[in-house]
């Protein structure tokens, strides 16, 4: 049993809730009830490392749930990617979940639930970032907000299943399985926090967005959420077992682990060594295979039977309402981060040579300034994020209501840097976290009032969708005939088939290896 404490920001009495693993005690603010760091799975350590998550052990008494749990092992977060509190530690025992519910609503009608999955290329991130604080959504929309941690990097998204041996098995997609386990916890427990388990909206950005679209094709996840929002998903980022096995072999080579000793050694390698090796592996694989992610879901024929991009194209994802979209210039952020995605001419040419050479000329023609820097940057962002998103929206619109957006708002700083609205810059608007480190950085030289106004409008749409399955009335559904797309900017608008020339140029491109 943890030590029960009062949250330093409030003297209001705390509140207890019974979960399937035991009672938890959070704290109350002026507007909300908050619980943090609740285990939703057993610690994935020892024999459970590289295994599917198991149910958490029951505890006696009332567990303190006032502090975030440990974040997953990763390179030490700094700046706007650091946890909101300096008290947050880093540890493999990281599978915890957080809940925020409106104050004074415990025994009234169950509320819609919003469950958020953070991004970070499956190698970084946590639910403890201040930009992900769901308090404003809860206060404004009378919803219950949930966030959670899941395993990252080699510990969560390296497929070692082909190296399973006597006495030790390695499961596939363990980080993705963590997410399903968290959703199962929501199904089994959220009613005690005032939420409606039959009215869950799953949303996420970047790797979190990939997770959303991928889970929409995972049989085990069917029925765990009623609608979905995918922000900047790289829908195609799930690969065949053969490629995943090659990635695993490179990783073992970096660790200097003999394949014959894999089951014996990997159980006792310190987590920090996995983090260091993961960084080396990313650099090696990105240069070798531009346009792909080093750590990602794998099509294992069981938990994830098929490529999510192909499932969406066929209109066969879980038939639930979906909001999906990207920022205006996804690639601009990555162009300043080295060769993370193909935003340079050599990497773009290598990408086409490895994938679909016949499409190269058609695509390049749609970017008249190529090989200029801006065009190269936009090709990289479009091939990873925008093009797969458009195709997913087109396919899913055959099966369920689908709403497409593009986030174009760029405060003065981003315009001065010639980046525009780039990857992840919509997060403060979605969450309303205008005092977060990310929002303050974006509005250093102006734009805060415009961001606040835009945030109000975006939250209206996100909350309307969570409450009733549709955004506000001024956002028409996406259909292949009109391709109506909501453009979020200083003044919002709807455009039909934006960037049609690019869309037609990319049609049929296969980024599969």
Least confident of 81-85, 132-136, 165-169, 217-221: 165-169
Pairing of strands 62-64, 111-117: unpaired
Comparing 350 with 8, the larger pLDDT belongs to 350
Q: Please, which pLDDT band fits residue 265 given cuts at 50, 70 and 90?
A: confident
Alpha carbons 296 and 239: distance in angstroms, whole number: 7
318 belongs to the catalytic site:
no
Where are the extended beta strands (E) located within 59-168?
Answer: 62-64, 96-102, 111-117, 144-148
Which pLDDT does position 166 carry in this prediction?
A: 64
Alpha carbons 469 and 457: distance in angstroms, whole number: 17
Which pLDDT does position 8 carry in this prediction?
A: 44
Closest listed residue to residue 424, CA positions, set 97, 12, 121, 103:
121
- Write the pLDDT tens digit of every residue in 34-50: 999 999 999 999 999 99
How would you list the strands of the sheet with 111-117, edge to edge?
Answer: 27-28, 32-39, 96-102, 144-148, 111-117, 195-205, 227-231, 322-327, 402-407, 484-488, 493-496
- Identified catalytic residue from 21, 126, 161, 206: 206
Which pLDDT does position 257 carry in this prediction?
A: 85
Mean per-residue pLDDT over the chain, rounded: 93
Alpha carbons 367 and 365: distance in angstroms, whole number: 5
For residue 32, what is the enclosing H or E element? strand 32-39
Compute the average pLDDT of residues 469-482. Answer: 97
107 belongs to the catalytic site:
no
Q: Please, which pLDDT band fits residue 263 given cuts at 50, 70 and 90?
A: confident
Alpha carbons 221 and 223: distance in angstroms, whole number: 6
Coil, strand, or helix at residue 473? coil
pTM higher than the cut 0.85? yes
Tally the C-alpha atoms within 13 A of residue 79's C-alpha that lie toward its C-beta.
4
195 close to 467: Cβ distance less than 8 angstroms: no
- Of all residues in the chain, what percent carry a pLDDT higher than 90? 86
Closest listed residue to residue 464, CA positions, set 452, 475, 479:
475
- Write the pLDDT tens digit of every residue in 396-412: 999 999 999 999 999 99
259 belongs to the catalytic site:
no
464 close to 201: Cβ distance less than 8 angstroms: no
Which pLDDT does position 106 carry in this prediction?
A: 62
- Identified catalytic residue from 14, 92, 139, 330: 330
- Identified catalytic residue from 318, 396, 423, 461: 423
Q: Residue 324: pLDDT above 90?
A: yes
Helix intervals (H) in 190-270: 207-215, 241-255, 262-265
């Amino acid at each position: 049993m943890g030590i029960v404490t009062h949250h330093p920001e409030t003297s209001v009495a705390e509140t207890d809730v019974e979960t399937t693993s035991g009672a938890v005690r959070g704290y109350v603010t002026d507007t909300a009830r908050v619980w943090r760091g609740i285990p939703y799975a057993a610690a994935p350590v020892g024999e459970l490392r590289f295994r599917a998550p198991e149910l958490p052990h029951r505890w006696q008494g009332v567990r303190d749930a006032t502090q975030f749990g440990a974040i997953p092992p990763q390179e030490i977060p700094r700046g706007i990617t650091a946890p909101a509190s300096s008290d947050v530690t880093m540890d493999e025992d990281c599978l915890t979940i957080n809940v925020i519910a409106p104050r004074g609503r415990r025994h009234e009608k169950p509320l819609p639930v919003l469950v958020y999955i953070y991004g970070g290329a499956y190698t970084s991130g946590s639910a403890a970032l201040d930009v992900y604080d769901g308090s404003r959504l809860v206060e404004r929309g009378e919803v219950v907000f949930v966030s959670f941690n899941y395993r990252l990097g080699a510990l969560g998204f390296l497929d070692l299943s082909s190296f399973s041996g006597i006495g030790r098995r390695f499961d596939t997609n363990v980080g993705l399985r963590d997410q399903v386990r968290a959703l199962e916890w929501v199904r089994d427990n959220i009613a005690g926090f005032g939420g409606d388990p039959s009215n869950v909206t799953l949303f996420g950005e970047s790797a979190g967005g990939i997770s959303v679209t991928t889970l929409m094709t995972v049989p085990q996840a069917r029925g765990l959420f009623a609608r979905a929002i995918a922000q900047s998903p790289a829908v195609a980022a799930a690969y065949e077992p053969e490629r995943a096995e090659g990635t695993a072999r490179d990783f073992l080579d970096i660790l200097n682990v003999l394949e014959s000793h894999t089951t014996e050694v990997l159980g006792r390698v310190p987590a920090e060594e996995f983090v260091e090796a993961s960084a080396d592996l990313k650099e090696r694989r990105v240069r070798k295979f531009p346009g792909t992610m080093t750590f990602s879901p794998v099509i294992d024929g069981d938990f994830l039977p098929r490529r999510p991009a192909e499932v969406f194209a066929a209109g066969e994802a879980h038939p639930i309402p979906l909001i999906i979209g990207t920022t205006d210039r996804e690639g601009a952020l990555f162009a300043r981060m080295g060769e993370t995605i193909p935003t340079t001419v050599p990497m773009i040419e290598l990408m086409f040579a490895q994938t679909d050479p016949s499409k190269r000329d058609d695509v390049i023609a749609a970017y008249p300034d190529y090989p200029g820097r801006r065009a190269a940057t936009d090709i990289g962002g479009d091939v990873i994020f925008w093009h797969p998103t458009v195709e997913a929206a087109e396919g899913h619109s055959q099966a369920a209501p689908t709403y497409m957006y593009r986030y174009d708002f760029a405060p003065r700083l981003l315009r001065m840097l010639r980046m525009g609205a780039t990857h992840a810059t919509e997060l403060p608007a979605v969450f309303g976290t205008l005092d977060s480190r990310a929002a303050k950085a974006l509005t250093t030289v102006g734009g805060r009032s415009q961001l606040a106004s835009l945030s109000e409008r975006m939250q209206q749409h996100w909350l309307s969708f969570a409450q009733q399955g549709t955004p506000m009335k001024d956002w028409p559904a996406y259909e292949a005939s009109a391709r109506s797309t909501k453009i979020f900017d200083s003044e919002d608008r709807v455009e039909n088939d934006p960037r049609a020339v690019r869309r037609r140029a990319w049609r049929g491109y296969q980024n599969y290896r």
